[in-house]
Homo-oligomer: A and B are copies of this chain.
Amino acid sequence: MNILDKIKSIWAIGRQHKMTAIGFDRARNIDDPQAFISKQIKQPIPNDSEILVKVLATSVNPVDTKMRAGYKAEGQFRILGFDAVGEVVKVGTEVSRFDVGDLVYYAGSQMKQGSNAAYQVVEADLVGHAPHNLSIAEISAMPLTSITAFEILHDAFGYDLEKESISNRSILIINGAGGVGSILIQLAKYIGLTVITTASRPESVAWVKSLGADFILDYHQDLVEQLQHIQYPKVDHVAILQSTDAYWPTVTQIIKPFGTIASIVETTAPIDMGPLKNIGAQFSWVFMFAKGNYHVDMLSQGMALEKIAVLLDKGELKTTLTKTYQGFTVENIRAATRTVEEGRTIGKVVVVYDDEK
């Protein structure tokens, strides 16, 4: 940045517009009136590699709840929200993939303020052009979970997102009805995997069936026996989207030699890696924020979103949206968050913002 740009930038900060943001300044129970508060704060300014986005909708993920519960920086206003669809209103000098006016979607980074605000800055590499044929609400359900599902298939299992490129391979998805599971079922089917997923409540079973799951197991019953029953005693891949600790002994029992296991759920105790040692099987964590947090290969997430947008527009994938709150209000953010906190969410919960903020 040259001197003139610096002066402009400082001047810009001085005359920054205000905006509404919904956040909190300490960990509080969801029912606490102060769990979320609305504030007028200065609009953020993008740096050279970032864009400024006018947010049109967000969705709530389990990570919002985890970050609020674990919040340590008491007194500092924190804005959550790790899904967004919005309109580009400013681009950094190094940004070439986006222009002002583009409709974009992204999950963003834990290192920055989130999308529960009228405007947000985000690293351009983490962003994709939004699909054209979906509503704002439908789009905002997708980014975080799509990136996670993509990284499970691509980074952990080594697959490209090519239609029916795989045959005679199977994946067991533990908890297919949640946010990540709902898109992972579809992406796995798209590339040609046989998809086996767990689901228990009738509405969950109906949901995963509608997404294309080939076999649906009841996680209240013995999974090993059910897999034998459907003639898949061992599977090529397992995606653990719930209770890694609880499912680990089963997973190591049913993974094929040279199979791969991915988990997005932290362990609360050590796990026995021994059963994988001599069978060439591998375990990987998938944590979609790691790339943004460490500025590693961020563009892979933007590229994943570009690809997902094409598949959504073509109808190869469908949105995982199941519930919409209309209006950017504290009560809607609270209600959407409460739904996710209660668990057992099917698909995704979205908050669509008002036009005026």
Contacts and interface: CB of A to CB of B under 8 A. Distances in A.
Contacts of A267: 272-274, 277
A245 to B, nearest CB: 10
Interface stretch (A72-80, A221-229, A287-295, A301-309): A287-295
Nearest to A291: B280
A115 B294 CA distance: 49
Contacts of A19: none
- Indicate how many identical chains form the complex: 2
A69 interface: no
A273 to B, nearest CB: 6
Contact of A277 (B273, B287, B294): B287
Contacts of A247: none
A278 to B, nearest CB: 5
Contact of A271 (B257, B271, B290): B271
A270 interface: yes
Contact of A257 (B257, B279, B294): B294
Given A271-B270, A272-B267, A280 B294 contact: yes
Interface residues of A, number: 28
Nearest to A278: B287
Contacts of A243: none
18 contacts: A257-B293, A258-B296, A266-B277, A266-B278, A267-B272, A267-B274, A269-B272, A270-B270, A270-B271, A273-B285, A277-B285, A278-B285, A278-B287, A279-B294, A280-B291, A280-B294, A280-B296, A283-B283
A322 interface: no
A288 to B, nearest CB: 10
Contacts of A282: 284-285
A131 to B, nearest CB: 28
A276 interface: yes
A286 to B, nearest CB: 9
Contact of A269 (B258, B270, B277, B285): B270
Contacts of A272: 267, 269-270
Given A257-B296, A273-B273, 14 more contacts: A257-B293, A258-B294, A266-B278, A267-B274, A268-B274, A269-B272, A270-B270, A270-B271, A271-B273, A273-B283, A280-B291, A280-B296, A281-B285, A282-B284
A283 B260 CA distance: 12
Nearest to A272: B270
Contacts of A287: 277-278, 280
Contacts of A291: 280
A272 B266 CA distance: 10
Contacts of A273: 267, 270-271, 273, 283, 285
A278 B290 contact: yes
A302 B137 CA distance: 54
Interface string A198-235: 00000000000000000000000000000000000000
Contacts of A280: 285, 287, 290-291, 294, 296
